[in-house]
A and B are shown apart, each in its own frame.
Chain A
């Protein structure tokens, strides 16, 4: 019983990490249909810049705020200098641009910051909490709470605010959105800033659990992308569910079957799900109007 609980705790912790990354994909995807493969780099920057700030003697909350603001600015710069000039290009080209940007960001990070691996101190200490024979680290609760909070904020943003609906409208039809008076250029800038900020916040939250280095972004983006595809790209509910499911599958496979097949089983399930629901669990069905 306590073993199962420990596996579930592990799965939810890891799943929340994936969900945080997956949530970051949502806004840019909704605004432009682009899967931003530099999203993992935003998470990495959030962690690395906070680490640098703390090392320079800043208190953690201030370092985290600076990291989030700087990363948002980098997101805006990515849009202004790389995505915006290629506006007419097909979505695939834009996705490839984001891959290029991610390589660039990695390279600059290892020169400007450093090549080492770092960890932030846990927000509320490292003493595990004992629950029915299983143990939870306080930082895991922070990560789960962070994922849920970002999910709620995104859900409210897309359903309750005019700006959020403008983002969705831009994604649906850019020209029509412009015709009804939406500043689509501003929407794109905003979506990159928000996605980068969410990524950076995720980075700050997870760095006490998963040490960060300049190259951590690739593996995070891949797992986050898998989670987002599983749940349904563009839907915050899907990102949260997909991340948690992926984490739980990995932990339960490692616990009950074999850790050697942990990733294989998870990806096999993703394939099976996508076979039955090609747009993911919560993906919207495409409506073609003729």
Chain B
């Protein structure tokens, strides 16, 4: 029995070898959290990456060579992400990697990328990924520090300087809370209340009651991700608090309005990407065509699933990588890295990317749009 199995296996190997065309392939690696706790982010990322590799090959590939995607699902587990990244580099022989849905998995993958000197474009938010700059690691999403700056700029434009901060205790909420406290010092914003909540708590009225009671408070900022901010928004309306409420870019999606209830979310402001408001953009806006095209393609490929910011991060990473692969004089990792660093004026769904040797984020504050929820939809704040 064993011999038959071995024989069949050997035969299959020979058959595969014979079937493989002699043409060279460019292998692109991806590790995303398609399942597990971060799957609402990783799922659209995986769909986008698959879709874009198909599109690329339909258009003739890279310099006439087909691109082959090797995609692994880490389930949100950093140690699995590290294992898969190692496998991509050592066994699959990829020329570059995309992925790292969460900050935790991104940090695990970048360790492998830097050690083996393979370019890696991360899809996670934390500033630690590219600060200090690491030779082979890039990222496409904004940092939470930029979100804090954008929100504080908008507050100051409205004359609001004394604010209450309420943050989730999850990684996203805690990281953005620390960044906002640091940014507030230099932006002339005074944080007069600092409360936290568990990401899956059912009720936050005690924290909000205490924030409301602080004298002189003018606005409230919630740094959080997932369902917590929706619960905050409902509790805010329940308590009848009329101060302006700001949410983070982490909940910039239609699902947030749905979970909060349109009436409760009325007037809430948050920084988001152009992707969310593609139809509302000025026709002269360079991002308009890019986001509308991605939205149409994604929704067709994903069978009607709504487009999300996270899929947009993957879209931008794949665009940057494809352009770099086309420009690079060879498929050597260092050449690809130099080509990514040479990216200028690339218009993505998140913003316009200008990478350099010292900037592996490539975005500035103009990439964020300040949005306001109005009648269950979005409105651009001018």
Chain A positions near chain B (C-beta within 8 angstroms)? 3, 6-7, 9-10, 13-14, 17, 107, 110, 115-119, 126, 128, 135, 137, 206, 209-211, 213, 215-216, 219-220, 251-252, 254-255, 259-260, 262-263
Contact = CB atoms under 8 A, between A and B. Distances in A.
B203 A260 contact: no
B264 A17 contact: no
A206 B202 CA distance: 9
B149 interface: no
A9 B202 contact: no
A255 B210 contact: yes
B305 to A, nearest CB: 9
B231 A211 contact: yes
A20 to B, nearest CB: 11
B240 A211 contact: no
B209 interface: yes
Contact of B201 (A14, A115, A137, A255): A14
B238 A251 contact: no
7 contacts: A7-B206, A14-B203, A135-B240, A209-B202, A209-B203, A209-B231, A210-B231
Contact of B40 (A14, A107, A117, A220): A117
Contacts of A254: 195, 197, 206-207, 210
Contacts of A117: 40, 226-227, 230, 255, 259
A251 B196 contact: no
Interface string B178-198: 000000000000000001111
B356 interface: no
Nearest to B263: A126
B206 A263 contact: no
Interface residues on B, range: 20 to 34
B255 to A, nearest CB: 6
A262 B169 CA distance: 11
Closest 10 CB pairs of A and B: A255-B206, A254-B206, A210-B202, A115-B39, A211-B227, A219-B200, A259-B195, A10-B205, A128-B238, A10-B203
B40 A126 contact: no
Contact of A6 (B200, B209, B227): B209
Given A110-B39, A126-B264, A255 B200 contact: no
Interface of B: 35, 37, 39-40, 43, 195-198, 200-203, 205-207, 209-210, 213, 226-227, 230-231, 234, 237-240, 255, 258-259, 261, 263-264
Contact of A259 (B197, B200, B234, B261): B197
B202 A116 contact: no
A116 B111 CA distance: 30
A205 B35 CA distance: 27
Contacts of B255: 116-117
B202 A14 contact: yes
Given A3-B213, A117-B227, A119-B258, A259 B206 contact: yes
Contacts of A213: 40, 227
A9 B227 contact: no
B205 to A, nearest CB: 5
Contact of B259 (A7, A17, A135, A211): A211
B202 A17 contact: yes
Contact of B35 (A110, A118, A128): A110
B261 A126 contact: yes
A130 to B, nearest CB: 9
Contacts of B205: 6-7, 9-10, 135
